[in-house]
């Protein structure tokens, strides 16, 4: 995994957008998988401002909160639609997100894997890193060999999750997510980590060998992966 350092998260977002733009010029029908969350917002802004042609591009959902509908504020589906899909010319038939309300979540996971295969695999994957080092909703202890699956949320994730939802939302205990094995097969992977609040986990990521106890370390073995840091995350990590 290569490390790239940027003065600001906006400069990093520009680099991500450059990568996506170059990919779409070469392969307009590329398959993108983009994290929902604060880290992705400057990337979405940059992509929307460039007015790229996404009419042939395919989107695969990364994860979502199990039992939460796509129109619920706080769902990954709602976040992506509001902050990205509504701002570019993606076609609905080219977007495949997890159905977090599926009666048979395991069958939904299998269907997602079939869709990835039918579209030829993930060309580009944008990930963030959670406060406990999780990738998507692959929590500490989850096997690196897993593909799309239902996961029990860690205590850390359960404590963070309510900030995304309206007051009074029932506690969320499970997620549905692509697995580390899916990430390992993506042709280009960016792990974007910004801000001093992520510095302790960045320090661990840089220091530790790959281990299922720190999911983000799985990417350290990938030649096609890049860790994108701003100085706030990196400089803070140096002080930990």
Block mean pLDDT (10 aa), the chain, length 240:
96 98 98 96 97 97 96 95 98 98 98 99 98 97 98 92 79 96 99 95 96 98 97 72
58 an active-site residue?
no
Given this model, what pLDDT does residue 237 score? 58
How far apart CA 222 and CA 8 sit, in angstroms, is: 25
Which residue of the set 132, 142, 149, 182 is catalytic? 132
Which residue of the set 139, 142, 182, 230 is catalytic? 139
132 an active-site residue?
yes
Interhelix angle for 9-26 vs 41-49, to 10°? 50
Domain count within the chain:
1
Range of the domain at 182: 2-238
The pTM of this model reads: 0.95
Given this model, what pLDDT does residue 238 score? 59
Which residue of the set 9, 46, 58, 63 is catalytic? 63
HSE at residue 113, side-chain half, CA atoms within 13 A, is 19
Given this model, what pLDDT does residue 235 score? 80
134 an active-site residue?
yes
Given this model, what pLDDT does residue 240 score? 46
How far apart CA 60 and CA 57 sit, in angstroms, is: 10
């Amino acid at each position: 995994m290569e490390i790239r350092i940027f003065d600001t998260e906006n400069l990093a977002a520009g680099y991500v957008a450059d990568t996506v733009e170059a990919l779409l010029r070469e392969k307009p029908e590329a398959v993108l998988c983009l994290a929902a969350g604060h880290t992705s917002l400057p990337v979405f802004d940059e992509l929307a401002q460039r007015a790229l042609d996404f009419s042939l591009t395919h989107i695969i959902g990364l994860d979502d909160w199990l039992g939460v509908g796509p129109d619920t504020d706080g769902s990954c589906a709602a976040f992506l639609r509001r902050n990205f899909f509504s701002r570019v010319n993606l076609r609905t038939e080219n977007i495949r997100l997890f159905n977090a309300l599926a009666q048979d979540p395991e069958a939904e996971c299998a269907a997602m894997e079939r869709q990835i295969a039918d579209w030829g695999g993930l060309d580009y994957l944008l990930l963030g890193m959670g406060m406990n080092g999780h990738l998507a909703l692959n929590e500490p202890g989850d096997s690196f060999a897993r593909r799309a699956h239902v996961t029990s949320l860690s205590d850390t994730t359960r404590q963070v999750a309510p900030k995304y939802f309206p007051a009074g939302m029932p506690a969320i205990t499970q997620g549905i997510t692509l697995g580390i094995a899916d990430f390992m097969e993506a042709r280009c992977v960016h792990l974007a980590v910004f801000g001093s609040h992520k510095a302790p986990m960045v320090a661990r990521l840089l220091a530790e060998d790959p281990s299922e106890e720190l999911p983000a370390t799985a990417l350290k073995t990938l030649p096609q992966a890049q860790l994108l840091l701003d100085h706030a995350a990196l400089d803070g990590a140096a002080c930990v």
